[in-house]
Protein backbone atom coordinates (compact mmCIF):
# COMPACT_ATOMS: atom_id res chain seq x y z
CA UNK A 1 0.00 0.00 0.00
CA UNK A 2 2.85 2.38 0.89
CA UNK A 3 4.50 1.65 -2.46
CA UNK A 4 1.28 2.48 -4.29
CA UNK A 5 0.93 5.71 -2.32
CA UNK A 6 4.53 6.72 -3.11
CA UNK A 7 3.96 5.96 -6.77
CA UNK A 8 0.80 8.11 -6.80
CA UNK A 9 2.61 11.01 -5.11
CA UNK A 10 5.51 10.75 -7.57
CA UNK A 11 3.06 10.81 -10.50
CA UNK A 12 1.37 13.91 -9.10
CA UNK A 13 4.72 15.67 -8.61
CA UNK A 14 5.80 14.71 -12.12
CA UNK A 15 2.51 16.00 -13.57
CA UNK A 16 2.92 19.26 -11.64
CA UNK A 17 6.43 19.69 -13.02
CA UNK A 18 5.30 19.01 -16.60
CA UNK A 19 2.29 21.33 -16.42
CA UNK A 20 4.17 23.96 -14.44
CA UNK A 21 7.07 23.88 -16.90
CA UNK A 22 4.66 24.40 -19.79
CA UNK A 23 3.55 27.71 -18.28
CA UNK A 24 7.11 28.98 -18.71
CA UNK A 25 7.18 28.19 -22.45
CA UNK A 26 6.24 30.81 -25.08
CA UNK A 27 2.74 30.67 -26.59
CA UNK A 28 4.02 31.16 -30.13
CA UNK A 29 6.94 30.30 -32.35
CA UNK A 30 8.91 33.39 -33.35
CA UNK A 31 11.84 33.02 -35.71
CA UNK A 32 13.89 35.84 -37.20
CA UNK A 33 17.02 35.25 -39.27
CA UNK A 34 19.13 37.59 -41.37
CA UNK A 35 21.70 37.16 -44.13
CA UNK A 36 23.61 39.60 -46.32
CA UNK A 37 23.70 38.83 -50.04
CA UNK A 38 26.16 40.55 -52.33
CA UNK A 39 23.48 41.83 -54.72
CA UNK A 40 21.00 44.68 -54.93
CA UNK A 41 17.47 44.34 -53.53
CA UNK A 42 16.22 44.43 -57.17
CA UNK A 43 18.32 41.34 -57.91
CA UNK A 44 17.21 39.41 -54.79
CA UNK A 45 13.51 40.29 -54.64
CA UNK A 46 12.33 38.27 -57.71
CA UNK A 47 13.50 35.04 -56.03
CA UNK A 48 11.21 35.79 -53.10
CA UNK A 49 8.27 37.41 -54.89
CA UNK A 50 7.64 34.58 -57.38
CA UNK A 51 6.22 31.45 -55.72
CA UNK A 52 7.67 29.14 -58.38
CA UNK A 53 11.20 30.30 -57.47
CA UNK A 54 10.86 29.11 -53.87
CA UNK A 55 11.50 25.47 -54.75
CA UNK A 56 14.94 26.56 -56.03
CA UNK A 57 16.13 27.81 -52.63
CA UNK A 58 13.67 26.87 -49.86
CA UNK A 59 14.59 24.10 -47.41
CA UNK A 60 11.08 22.77 -48.03
CA UNK A 61 11.90 21.43 -51.49
CA UNK A 62 12.38 18.17 -53.39
CA UNK A 63 15.81 17.41 -51.92
CA UNK A 64 14.12 17.31 -48.51
CA UNK A 65 11.08 15.40 -49.79
CA UNK A 66 11.41 13.83 -53.28
CA UNK A 67 7.65 13.17 -53.41
CA UNK A 68 6.77 16.90 -53.40
CA UNK A 69 4.19 18.16 -55.84
CA UNK A 70 3.72 21.92 -56.34
CA UNK A 71 0.59 23.75 -57.46
CA UNK A 72 0.37 27.48 -58.14
CA UNK A 73 -2.55 29.88 -58.33
CA UNK A 74 -3.39 33.54 -58.65
CA UNK A 75 -0.86 35.89 -60.19
CA UNK A 76 2.65 34.58 -60.88
CA UNK A 77 4.14 36.94 -58.32
CA UNK A 78 3.20 39.57 -55.78
CA UNK A 79 0.15 39.87 -53.55
CA UNK A 80 -2.39 37.12 -54.25
CA UNK A 81 0.19 34.62 -55.56
CA UNK A 82 -0.42 31.18 -54.09
CA UNK A 83 1.59 28.04 -53.76
CA UNK A 84 0.46 24.64 -52.49
CA UNK A 85 2.81 21.75 -51.95
CA UNK A 86 2.19 18.22 -50.87
CA UNK A 87 4.70 15.53 -49.97
CA UNK A 88 4.94 12.32 -48.01
CA UNK A 89 7.40 13.85 -45.50
CA UNK A 90 6.15 17.44 -45.26
CA UNK A 91 2.41 17.01 -45.67
CA UNK A 92 0.05 19.40 -47.46
CA UNK A 93 0.76 23.15 -47.14
CA UNK A 94 -0.78 26.35 -48.51
CA UNK A 95 1.02 29.68 -48.84
CA UNK A 96 -0.50 33.00 -49.89
CA UNK A 97 1.43 36.21 -50.52
CA UNK A 98 -0.60 38.89 -48.75
CA UNK A 99 1.52 41.97 -49.43
CA UNK A 100 4.35 42.69 -51.84
CA UNK A 101 6.27 45.95 -52.10
CA UNK A 102 9.09 45.56 -54.63
CA UNK A 103 11.96 45.46 -53.85
CA UNK A 104 11.58 46.10 -50.12
CA UNK A 105 9.20 43.61 -48.50
CA UNK A 106 6.98 40.58 -48.87
CA UNK A 107 4.42 39.18 -46.41
CA UNK A 108 2.76 35.76 -46.54
CA UNK A 109 0.42 33.42 -44.70
CA UNK A 110 1.31 29.76 -44.35
CA UNK A 111 -1.06 27.01 -43.24
CA UNK A 112 -0.89 23.24 -43.06
CA UNK A 113 -3.98 21.43 -44.28
CA UNK A 114 -6.17 20.22 -41.44
CA UNK A 115 -4.78 22.81 -39.01
CA UNK A 116 -6.53 26.00 -37.92
CA UNK A 117 -3.36 27.91 -37.03
CA UNK A 118 -1.71 30.15 -39.62
CA UNK A 119 1.90 31.25 -39.66
CA UNK A 120 2.58 34.82 -40.70
CA UNK A 121 5.91 35.45 -42.38
CA UNK A 122 7.73 38.36 -43.91
CA UNK A 123 10.87 39.31 -45.75
CA UNK A 124 12.45 42.73 -45.43
CA UNK A 125 15.24 43.71 -47.81
CA UNK A 126 17.57 46.57 -46.93
CA UNK A 127 20.37 47.91 -49.09
CA UNK A 128 23.73 47.92 -47.27
CA UNK A 129 27.33 48.61 -48.25
CA UNK A 130 27.86 44.84 -48.58
CA UNK A 131 24.76 44.25 -50.71
CA UNK A 132 21.28 43.43 -49.42
CA UNK A 133 20.40 42.42 -45.89
CA UNK A 134 17.50 39.97 -46.09
CA UNK A 135 15.56 39.49 -42.85
CA UNK A 136 13.08 36.62 -42.73
CA UNK A 137 10.61 36.57 -39.83
CA UNK A 138 7.91 34.03 -39.14
CA UNK A 139 5.43 33.82 -36.26
CA UNK A 140 3.17 30.88 -35.49
CA UNK A 141 0.72 30.90 -32.56
CA UNK A 142 0.48 27.68 -30.55
CA UNK A 143 -2.54 25.96 -29.09
CA UNK A 144 -3.04 26.58 -25.39
CA UNK A 145 -2.13 23.18 -23.98
CA UNK A 146 1.10 21.82 -22.46
CA UNK A 147 1.76 19.29 -25.23
CA UNK A 148 1.48 21.96 -27.95
CA UNK A 149 3.77 24.29 -26.00
CA UNK A 150 6.48 21.62 -25.61
CA UNK A 151 6.10 20.62 -29.26
CA UNK A 152 6.34 24.33 -30.15
CA UNK A 153 9.76 24.58 -28.51
CA UNK A 154 11.01 21.82 -30.82
CA UNK A 155 9.26 23.35 -33.86
CA UNK A 156 10.89 26.71 -33.08
CA UNK A 157 14.35 25.12 -33.24
CA UNK A 158 13.51 23.21 -36.42
CA UNK A 159 12.04 26.30 -38.12
CA UNK A 160 15.15 28.32 -37.23
CA UNK A 161 17.33 25.68 -38.88
CA UNK A 162 15.14 25.47 -41.99
CA UNK A 163 15.08 29.26 -42.40
CA UNK A 164 18.87 29.46 -41.98
CA UNK A 165 19.31 26.72 -44.60
CA UNK A 166 16.87 28.46 -46.95
CA UNK A 167 18.63 31.82 -46.63
CA UNK A 168 22.00 30.18 -47.32
CA UNK A 169 20.47 28.49 -50.40
CA UNK A 170 19.03 31.84 -51.54
CA UNK A 171 22.43 33.50 -51.16
CA UNK A 172 24.10 30.72 -53.20
CA UNK A 173 21.45 30.89 -55.91
CA UNK A 174 21.66 34.67 -56.29
CA UNK A 175 25.48 34.63 -56.20
CA UNK A 176 25.73 31.78 -58.72
CA UNK A 177 23.25 33.48 -61.04
CA UNK A 178 25.25 36.71 -60.88
CA UNK A 179 28.51 34.87 -61.62
CA UNK A 180 26.97 33.07 -64.59
CA UNK A 181 25.52 36.33 -65.91
CA UNK A 182 28.90 38.09 -65.53
CA UNK A 183 30.67 35.29 -67.47
CA UNK A 184 28.40 35.72 -70.50
pLDDT, tens only, 81-140:
999 999 998 899 999 999 999 999 999 999 999 988 899 999 999 999 999 999 999 999
- Residue 126 CA, chain-centre distance (Å), reads 20
Provide the 3-class DSSP secondary structure of residue 138: strand
pTM score, whole prediction:
0.85
How far apart are alpha carbons 39 and 36 in whole angstroms?
9
Whole-angstrom CA distances from 3 to 6, 11, 12, 91 are 5, 12, 14, 46
Provide the 3-class DSSP secondary structure of residue 10: helix
Domains by residue range for the chain, with CATH: 26-183 (3.30.530.20)
Q: Which pLDDT tens digit goes with each residue over 29-82?
A: 899 999 999 999 999 999 999 999 999 999 887 777 889 999 999 999 999 999
Amino acid sequence: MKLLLRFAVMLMVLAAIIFGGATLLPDQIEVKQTIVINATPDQVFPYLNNTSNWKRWSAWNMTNDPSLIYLYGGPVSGAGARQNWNGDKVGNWHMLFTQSTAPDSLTYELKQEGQTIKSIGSFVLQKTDAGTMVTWSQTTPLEDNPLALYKGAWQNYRTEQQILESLANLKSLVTDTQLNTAKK
